[in-house]
């Protein structure tokens, strides 16, 4: 399956595209994102491999799905193997949520000068508005791997957990104001999975561990009732 188009939603500071590739022509829109944190290569390597295997027809999408893949939301961070963007902003603390705060305890989580200040997140907001996803999968990595579900998507989180063996949790263990999970999941009730892959796991193991759960998530709402969207 070839991508049916590329849509550029913005540019990084270094001039790299922040874009999605679109696969399939179905009605159920799914957004797959990697590389929000540039030092979490486990996620963007998986997303890029997912695209390459789709293109080689080694994996298939359900006919009813249209999949939008943004493998690297933070291309500058990915290139530099750095969590934050070029302005040292943690993009997953910069989304314009109701609980956004300028306070931070650790520079790793610098939320930026104001909510939604970063070009990467402006691109992400445009992406969500244009693709109107029914489900969002954002691939991260963490030393405590888990399926973090946001919004009324505990059933999806648990189903993924059965595939990948990681715990499904509605709470990552500390507050994440300005996160995509809060913005899309809790505030808009778009089922949003922040998949925390085990940090440092080799790409082949990541692939074999997570392919089943990601495929399940992509097709999940073809067979289950979508929670009612807010906003």
What is the greatest pairwise CA distance in the chain? 46
Question: Distance between CA atoms of 209 and 196, rounded to whole angstroms?
Answer: 12
37 part of the interface to Zn ion, by CB under 5 A: yes
72 part of the interface to Zn ion, by CB under 5 A: no
Nearer CB in complex with Zn ion: 39/154: 39
140 part of the interface to Zn ion, by CB under 5 A: yes
Choices 33-41, 73-81, 130-138, 180-188 (CB under 5 A): range interacting with Zn ion: 33-41
Q: What is the DSSP-derived secondary structure letter of residue 229? A: P
Choices 8-16, 29-37, 60-68, 104-112 (CB under 5 A): range interacting with Zn ion: 29-37
Choices 70-78, 98-106, 113-121, 140-148 (CB under 5 A): range interacting with Zn ion: 140-148
Looking at beta carbons, which residue is closest to Zn ion? 140
Burial of 180 (0-12, 13-18, 19+ CB in 10 A): buried
Decide if 179 contacts 97 (C-beta within 8 A): yes
93 part of the interface to Zn ion, by CB under 5 A: no
Nearer CB in complex with Zn ion: 24/181: 181
Question: Distance between CA atoms of 69 and 76, rounded to whole angstroms?
Answer: 18
Nearer CB in complex with Zn ion: 40/51: 40
Location of structure tokens 């500071």: 13
Question: Distance between CA atoms of 79 and 5, rounded to whole angstroms?
Answer: 24
Residues touching Zn ion: how many (CB under 5 A)? Answer: 3
Give residues in contact with Zn ion (CB under 5 A).
37, 40, 140
């Amino acid at each position: 399956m070839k991508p049916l188009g590329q849509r550029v939603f913005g540019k990084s500071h270094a001039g790299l595209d922040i874009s999605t590739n679109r696969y399939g022509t179905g009605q159920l829109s799914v957004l797959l994102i990697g590389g929000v944190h540039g030092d979490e290569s486990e996620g963007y390597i998986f997303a890029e491999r997912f695209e390459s295997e789709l293109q080689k027809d080694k994996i298939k999408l359900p006919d009813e799905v249209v999949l939008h893949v943004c493998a690297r939301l933070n291309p500058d961070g990915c290139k530099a193997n750095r969590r934050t963007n070029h302005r040292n902003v943690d993009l997953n603390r910069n989304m314009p949520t109701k609980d956004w705060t300028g306070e931070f305890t650790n520079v790793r989580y610098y939320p930026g000068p104001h909510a939604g200040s970063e070009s990467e997140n402006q691109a992400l907001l445009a992406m969500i508005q244009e693709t109107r996803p029914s489900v969002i999968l954002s691939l991260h990595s963490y030393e405590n791997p888990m399926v973090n579900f946001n919004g009324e998507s505990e059933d999806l989180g648990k189903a993924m957990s059965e595939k990948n063996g990681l715990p499904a949790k509605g709470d990552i263990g500390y507050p994440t104001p300005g996160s995509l999970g809060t913005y899309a999941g809790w505030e808009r009730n778009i089922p949003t999975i922040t998949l925390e892959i085990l940090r440092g796991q080799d790409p082949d193991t990541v692939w074999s561990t997570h392919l089943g759960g990601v495929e399940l998530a992509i097709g999940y709402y073809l067979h289950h009732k979508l929670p009612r969207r807010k906003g």
